[in-house]
Structure 1
Amino acid sequence: MNDPKKLAIKDFVYELPDERIAKFPLPERDQSKLLLYRQGNIADHTFTELTQLLPQDTLLVFNDTKVVQARLLMQKETGGLVEIFCLEPVAPHREVQLAMQQTGGSTWKCLVGNNKRWKSGPVRLDFEGGVLKAEREAQQEGHFLIRFTWEPAELPFAEVLERCGRLPLPPYLNRDLTPDDHTRYQTIYANQKGAVAAPTAGLHFTDRVMAALQAQGIGTAYLTLHVGAGTFKPVKAETMETHEMHAEQLYITRSILERLLHQVGKPVIPVGTTSMRSLESIYWLGAKVLEQPELSVQELHVSQWQAYESINPPSAETALQALLRYLDHLGTDHLHASTQIIIAPGYTFRMCHGLVTNFHQPESTLLLLVSALIGENWRKVYQHAMENDYRFLSYGDSSLLLP
């Protein structure tokens, strides 16, 4: 087995000219190209054909997180602008779902643009029927803790962001928001508010494709991983050992665990890298509570290297049953956890049998994940996409990878 800690990120490079990055979505979501990679062979399709290409008895797993308008352009008392980008909640709740319902005030970990020009005092943003104020509480490595307060105080924070925030487009699009982005940078099944980036593999799905899946007897299930800004974080370390993987919040329901248990022995295919990371994290959380049944809810975390350090990993069935018992023990039907899992060459997949995904940036952890699934053939796939006019990154085309 490869030692993922020794992997050099320079081995995951390919040439991506700027003109190959899709700056805007296609007029119709499901008309994007779909590259099929099946056991070493490559074929070109359209996304509407996905239903016919999936293995029989597949369960497709979607991430139903919803992108929030996390960019705030706030005004100093002198009139200058400060941009605040909300990353994740800190107080009174760390759970995104609860933080979105918080009223009156909350503290978030944020990035701040033009910080040097923000000398002191609060900044504010007036919106229809109210005002949002922000003050710096502390500076930490690479970010600030920002205390928000707002009027009317009874508004939940999700509503405040909805009224005065801006959608955070990926930095590499390098363009301003258009009205179109508000619908097109969300999946049609987005439901749980809290992501600052879209799970982009899902952007190709339409009601028409969903109806075709149902007609074909392809099962569907939903989980929630709130995609963090870390998804765009470049790997600057020479080897993965010194790259710190970003943590993301995962919301797991009893129903998804039961559905996965029912699916054991049949193909499970995640839609997107975030769904894949979630499914594999669910397995490792199960392995953890199997070893430590009295584990506290605060300790429900998958660390970066846990998967590679495990001595006797249980079967998927055993891990899922352990999590269901843990839910019973807590008397709840859902769990909040966090994951820093890194899926890289050398990883053994426990839950997933394929992947629907877009084409990712060079030298990214997402490319490592693709390589973990299909090995060195990722180069063949990306070369084919490059030579056949596929569009890359968030608004780009899609692939179905079946190792």
Structure 2
Amino acid sequence: MKLSDFKYHLPPELIAQHPLAERSASRLLSLDGATGALRHLQFTDLPSCLDPGDLLVFNNTRVIPARLWGQKETGGRVEILIERLTGTSTALAHIRSSKSPRPGTRIFLTAAEGDEPGPWQLEVSGREGALFALRAPEGVALPTILGAIGHMPLPPYIQRADEVIDQSRYQTVYAEREGAVAAPTAGLHFTDALLAELQAKGIERATVTLHVGAGTFQPVRVERIEEHQMHSEYLEVDEALCAAVAATRNRGGRVVAVGTTAVRSLESAACGGGKVAPLTGDTDIFIYPGYRFRVVDAMITNFHLSESTLLMLVSAFAGREAIATAYREAIAQRYRFFSYGDAMFITPSPDALEQR
């Protein structure tokens, strides 16, 4: 398939720059992948899309304040985006500066872009491909530095500096496991009250952990999408999740993934027949049209960037034409797009699921 098959035009004013006052006040566009039928709902209508016995699978990763600023000993300004914590005092990171720092370079950190350096510093200890290995001084925990002066790593299409509100709103209410540098944004719409309503209706709940990396915003740079090399992210699927999926299958319920990260987690751990097995490690699964879903029966997701791997994933699930039609309708109806935007509830096209 061609990259241009997944291109659409989005008026810039539809890119949500701030969260709504209430998490669950978002709109919800429901797409029936079998018929292509669309329904315009509110996110608070989600319980009506689900049946007792269905299983919602959430990604419980927690976003860390991964963006830092600083300057080199030469005075050159540096912007750091932590990609992955590799130890108590070490990490891999993207670094933006006029010249790439060499091993041994010390970076004196600032509380904000353009500020004077404070007491914190990091040292470049090496390089792994496009990422730089960073090390905090002996006895200093990197999370301590991030907690003191780190900034929430808002996506590049949010064209403003992070604000206090982002510390809570660019985070799901059920976030537990620190390690993500981008939020699993389909989960941002959920409130404690909505979760309680779903539980009262008999909707079951389980979690996976996938620490979303900055690679989620990496553009596809090849025209033949089959040639794209997907980025890797750390994943944990445990025995409790596997048991929950098995119980859902036994009672005839659906496995409903909250977000594409939950989709990728479940499908990475798939072992056929709608079953999953425990899995810990990195995943670079790339899902595009032609893929047959082995676990996921429905999904909740936000709207995705043009020509992105996530747009390809939802197109694989509901059908490329159905997704294209849904996006045209969303644009016509002035839905809000991307991380702080509105959501979709999607069921699969007839040929999207593996025989189970």
TM-score, length-scaled by structure 1: 0.79
Aligned partner (choices 379, 383, 395) of residue 328 of structure 2: 383
Aligned residues: 336
Report the Cα offset of residue 166 of structure 1.
Answer: 1.0
Q: Which shows bigger deviation, 80-89 or 356-365?
A: 80-89
Q: Name the structure with the higher helix share.
A: 1
Counterpart-to-counterpart distance in 2, 1:117 and 1:36? 46
Corresponding residue SS for 2:188: helix
* Distance (Å, rounded) in 2 between the aligned partners of 1:51 and 1:207: 14
Instruction: Please give the secondary structure, in 2, of the residue aligned with 1:116.
Output: coil
Q: Does 1:11 align with 2:33?
A: no
What is the CA RMSD across the aligned residues, in angstroms? Answer: 1.9
Counterpart of 2:260 (choices 251, 273, 276) is 273
Q: Does 1:394 align with 2:342?
A: no
In the other structure, the counterpart of 2:125 is 137
1:72/1:164 contact within 8 Å kept: yes
Query: C-alpha distance in 2, partners of 1:280/1:26?
Result: 31
Counterpart pick for 2:318 among 352, 374, 382: 374
Look up the match of 2:353: none
Look up the equivalent residue of 2:300 and give its one-letter code: V
Q: Deviations over 1:252-279 (max 9, x none)?
A: 2221111111112420000000001001
Cα distance in 2 for partners of 1:207, 1:142 equals 39
CA distance in 2, matches of 1:165, 1:81: 16
**Residues in 2 aligned to 1:157 and 1:366: alpha-carbon distance in whole angstroms:** 31
Q: Unpaired segments of 5 or more residues in structure 1?
A: 1-6, 94-98, 288-313, 325-334
What does residue 66 of structure 2 align with?
70
Cα offsets for 1:21-53 (capped at 9, x unmatched):
011111111011011112321111111110112
Retained in 2: the 8 A contact 1:131–1:150?
Answer: no
**Which runs of structure 2 are paired with 1:68-217 in the superposition (5 Å)?**
68-89=64-85, 93=86, 99=87, 102=88, 105-106=89-90, 108-116=91-99, 121-125=105-109, 131-146=119-134, 148-150=135-137, 153=139, 156-217=141-202
Equivalent pair of 2:101/2:124 in contact (CA under 8 Å): no
TM-score after normalising by structure 2: 0.89
Deviation of 1:197 after TM superposition, in Å, equals 0.2
2:299 to 330, 351, 355: 355
For residues 304-362 of structure 1, the C-alpha deviation after alignment (integer angstroms, 9 at most, x for no partner) is xxxxxxxxxx4234xx4xx36xxxxxxxxxx5221111111111111101110011000
Distance 1:262 1:10, change over 3 A: same
Please list every run of at least 4 consecutive aligned residues from structure 1 whose deviation after the TM superposition is greater than 4 angstroms.
117-120
Query: Which segments of 5 or more consecutive residues in structure 2 lack a partner in the other structure?
Result: 112-117, 349-356
1:61-118 CA deviation, whole Å, 9 max, x = no partner? 00010011111112333544311111124xxx4xxxxx3xx2xx32x32111114185
Letter in structure 1 aligned against 2:221? K
Spell out the pairing of 1:287-298 with structure 2 (5 A cutoff).
287=271
Q: Secondary structure at the match of 1:337?
A: strand
Aligned to 1:297: none
**Distance across 1 between alignment mates of 2:98 and 2:158:** 23
